[in-house]
């Protein structure tokens, strides 16, 4: 029987051969070492799969899963990893982002201090090489559902969940664009509060041609979440959308 781990880390992988090995090494350097790392390959077309197989064979805390029946996207990859996670605490990490070495240790301590089910941290924008640019996104002390609708300050690679306080059903991501934001909203809509640790513990790598860099597409994704996912009336959607757009602009200045 495999050893139970305190924290399960789920990483969706698609054509990440350029940096996935560094990502895994980064996790292995965490000051908190009682984790399992679940790497979910979404049918990468590069050499990611062979790299993942080698890394999983080197450390019994690392496991590899492969999506069935072709490419299904990051949301489904995270859901597969979440389904098989055995740790009490669940963290998401994108394959190209960077954690500071004490990220898990600091966040776990914060979660226990707040007796929280859902926490997240500040983060820093990085360049294509994940070198910090000095632009840090600070986070509020807490967010409820209404507050979260007007901002997307919760970044995927910063979150941590306590699955003894929060049902796994709420952690399964819907298959929509901006699935991460949709997931935070569905959790908070259920009555939970997310607590923010205002410490820069993550670097968000931003390739020049990344999906999130397309401003028009980002605007459309958020609007669709208000109208189709949350089913908010047009006037209410427009109200939240204006505040979201303002904060998103200020965050990137």
In the chain, where does DSSP find H-type helix? Answer: 20-28, 48-58, 74-84, 103-114, 145-149, 179-189, 215-224, 234-252
Query: Which residues have a Cβ under 8 Å from the Cβ of 234 and sit 6 or more positions away?
Result: 227
How high is the pLDDT of residue 216?
A: 81
- Summarize the chain as % helix, strand, coil (round to 5): 40, 25, 35
Task: Give the span between the Cα atoms of 63 and 59, in whole angstroms.
Answer: 8
How high is the pLDDT of residue 211?
A: 45
Pull the structure tokens for residue 70. 């072709």
The domain segmentation of the chain, as residue ranges, is: 7-207
How high is the pLDDT of residue 100?
A: 97
How high is the pLDDT of residue 1?
A: 39
How high is the pLDDT of residue 178?
A: 93
For the domain spanning 7-207, the CATH number is 3.90.550.10
Averages of pLDDT over each 10 residues, the chain, 253 residues: 80 96 97 98 95 97 92 94 97 97 98 98 92 93 96 95 96 95 97 98 81 72 95 96 84 63
How high is the pLDDT of residue 61?
A: 97
């Amino acid at each position: 029987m495999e050893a139970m781990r305190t924290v399960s880390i789920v990483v969706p992988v698609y054509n990440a051969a350029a940096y996935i090995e560094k990502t895994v090494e980064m996790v292995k350097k965490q000051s908190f070492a009682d984790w399992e790392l679940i790497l979910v390959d979404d049918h990468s077309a590069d050499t990611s799969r062979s790299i993942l197989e080698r890394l999983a064979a080197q450390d019994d805390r690392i496991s590899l899963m492969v999506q069935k029946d072709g490419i299904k996207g990051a949301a489904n990859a995270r859901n597969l990893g979440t389904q098989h996670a055995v740790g009490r605490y669940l963290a998401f990490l994108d394959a190209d982002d960077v954690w500071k070495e004490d990220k898990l240790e600091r966040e776990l301590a914060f979660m226990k201090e707040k007796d929280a089910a859902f926490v997240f941290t500040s983060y820093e924008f990085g360049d294509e090489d994940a070198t910090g640019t000095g632009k840090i996104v600070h986070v509020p002390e807490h967010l409820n559902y209404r507050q979260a609708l007007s901002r997307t300050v919760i970044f995927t690679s910063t979150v941590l969940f306590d699955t003894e306080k929060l049902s796994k059903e709420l952690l399964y991501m819907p298959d929509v664009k901006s699935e991460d934001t949709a997931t935070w909203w569905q959790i908070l809509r259920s009555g939970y509060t997310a607590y923010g640790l205002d410490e820069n513990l993550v670097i968000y790598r931003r390739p020049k041609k990344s999906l999130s860099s397309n401003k028009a597409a980002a605007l459309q994704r958020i609007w669709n979440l208000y109208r189709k996912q949350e089913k908010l009336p047009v006037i209410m959607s427009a109200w939240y959308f204006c505040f979201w757009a303002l904060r998103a602009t200020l965050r990137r200045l």
